[in-house]
């Protein structure tokens, strides 16, 4: 990796292998989400005539489905968090220590989130988007990862934080799902994984309206199938993909194209068939990333994996950035029609967003990737105290 990129790369635990394909998939997911929200807000501030023309264009409908990136993120999280439990039960690796697991989730994920939410809170106050007394309860609920459950709506501090609330719900229960790997007989283990997955599919299909009444429609109850697909993929990776060379890697490339079609065609919604198509498409996307020739090489590119590794910082800031910047930049290329006007906004916005996110990642996320950052902080405080006493 070039030295410049190394400064913005993730810090990886020494006892865990680095899987570049996962960061490549993160790149795919975050790019999809950013483009989706960019088009959504671009359309929102356009004149009615432009809105109508845009919605009649095929490209609009293609981009309009890119919200799928959130659910790809869920599958990636399921894969990553299930891997240590799968390695323990299937390969005899050391048993994950739950205290260390939960501590790591807290010290790794919480600081960048806390900093971003507080900054967005003060920016909202400074721009008079909301008042202190109005927004403070929403900030508290957001910091507790319960905003959607409490209010049944997007967070006024950072609307996209709803998916992070769902992620936290899975973090808490991931060790429980990891127990599925303790089933020794592979057919029974696979059956348990698939039954658990389809249980969430059925809950989403049949119970969404009821869950909506209790503010649970944006919760693990309607997203568990995507995380459990990642759990299933963790086993497939360890037992079939990791050490077995495929004789026909081009098959993976073709299946990736089929997977992309299923992702766009299936999308995420309540219908049973669409859910199954979406899950199948996600599985094929992962298959191509790990088993294809050209697709795997693409997802392993250093630039892509570096950006994918910054996806958390990008996700935390992208929506607020788009909402703040687009009203300023949308006047550029306003009279050239939908595809070109939107493309101009992409070319202007994405480099600026990437720069902001890279700086935030470098200073406010990457340091917390070091598992020992709390120990280093304590040593630094002691050193400062010693220096003051010597003065």
pLDDT per residue of the chain (391 residues) written in tens, 0 to 9: 566 666 777 776 666 789 999 999 999 999 999 999 999 999 999 988 889 999 999 999 999 999 999 999 999 999 999 999 999 999 999 999 999 999 999 999 999 999 999 999 999 999 999 999 999 999 999 999 999 999 999 999 999 999 999 999 999 999 999 999 999 999 999 999 999 999 999 999 999 999 999 999 999 999 999 999 999 999 999 999 987 778 889 999 999 999 999 998 876 567 899 999 999 999 999 999 999 999 999 999 999 999 999 999 999 999 999 999 999 998 887 778 899 999 999 999 999 999 999 999 999 999 998 888 776 666 666 666 666 555 5
**Domain encompassing residue 73:** 3-390
Q: CB count, 10 Å around CB of 172? A: 12
Q: Which two tokens mark 279?
A: 């899950």
pLDDT of residue 391: 56
Cα–Cα distance measured from residue 79 to residue 350, given in angstroms and rounded to the nearest whole number: 28
Q: Give the count of domains, the chain.
A: 1
**Under 8 Å between Cβ of 85 and 111:** no
Instruction: Say which DSSP state 238 is in.
Output: I
Query: What are the tokens at 347?
Result: 């070319």
Residue with tokens 């568990």: 224
Phi/psi at 279 (5° precision): -65, -40
Query: In Å, what is the CA distance from 108 to each residue of 43, 146, 352, 388?
Result: 36, 19, 26, 30
How is residue 214 annotated by DSSP? T
DSSP annotation of 299 reads: H
Would you state the pLDDT for residue 247? Answer: 81
Per-residue pLDDT, 288? 96
Nearest to 252 by CA among 281, 303, 288, 224: 288
Asked whether the CA dihedral 334, 61, 58, 278 is positive or negative, the reply is positive
Q: Which residue has the tokens 């459950």?
A: 149
Residue 214 pLDDT: 95
């Amino acid at each position: 990796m070039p030295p410049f990129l190394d400064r913005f790369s993730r810090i990886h635990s020494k006892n865990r292998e680095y899987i570049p394909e996962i960061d490549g998939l993160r790149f795919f997911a975050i790019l999809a989400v950013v483009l989706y929200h960019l088009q959504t807000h671009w359309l929102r501030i356009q004149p009615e005539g432009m809105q109508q023309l845009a919605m009649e264009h095929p490209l609009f409908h293609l981009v309009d489905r890119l919200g799928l990136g959130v659910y790809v993120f869920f599958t990636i999280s399921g894969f990553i968090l299930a891997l240590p439990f799968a390695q323990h039960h299937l390969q005899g690796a050391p048993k994950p220590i739950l205290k260390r697991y939960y501590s790591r989730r807290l010290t790794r994920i919480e600081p960048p989130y806390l900093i971003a939410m507080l900054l967005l809170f003060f920016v909202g106050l400074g721009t008079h988007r909301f008042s202190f007394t109005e927004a403070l309860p929403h900030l508290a609920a957001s910091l507790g990862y319960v905003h959607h459950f409490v209010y049944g709506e997007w967070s006024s501090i950072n609307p996209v934080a709803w998916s992070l609330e769902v992620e936290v719900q899975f973090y808490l229960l991931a060790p429980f799902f990891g127990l599925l790997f303790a089933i020794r007989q592979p057919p029974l283990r696979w059956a348990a994984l698939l039954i658990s997955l389809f249980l969430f599919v059925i809950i989403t299909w049949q119970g969404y309206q009821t869950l909506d009444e209790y503010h649970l429609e944006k919760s693990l109850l309607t997203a568990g199938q995507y995380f459990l697909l990642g759990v299933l993929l963790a086993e497939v990776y360890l037992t079939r993909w990791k050490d077995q060379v495929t004789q026909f890697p081009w098959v993976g490339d073709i299946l990736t194209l089929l997977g992309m079609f299923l992702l766009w065609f299936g999308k995420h919604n309540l219908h049973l068939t669409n859910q199954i198509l979406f899950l199948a498409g996600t599985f094929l996307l992962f298959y191509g990333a790990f088993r294809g020739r050209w697709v795997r090489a693409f997802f392993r590119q250093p630039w892509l994996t570096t950006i994918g590794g910054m996806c958390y910082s990008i996700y935390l800031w992208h929506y607020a950035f788009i909402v703040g910047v687009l009203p300023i930049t949308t006047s550029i290329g306003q009279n050239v029609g939908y595809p070109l006007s939107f493309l101009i906004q992409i070319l202007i916005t994405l480099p600026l967003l990437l720069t902001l996110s890279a700086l935030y990642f470098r200073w406010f996320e990457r340091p917390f990737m070091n598992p020992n950052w709390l120990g280093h902080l304590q040593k630094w405080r002691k050193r400062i105290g010693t220096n003051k006493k010597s003065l």
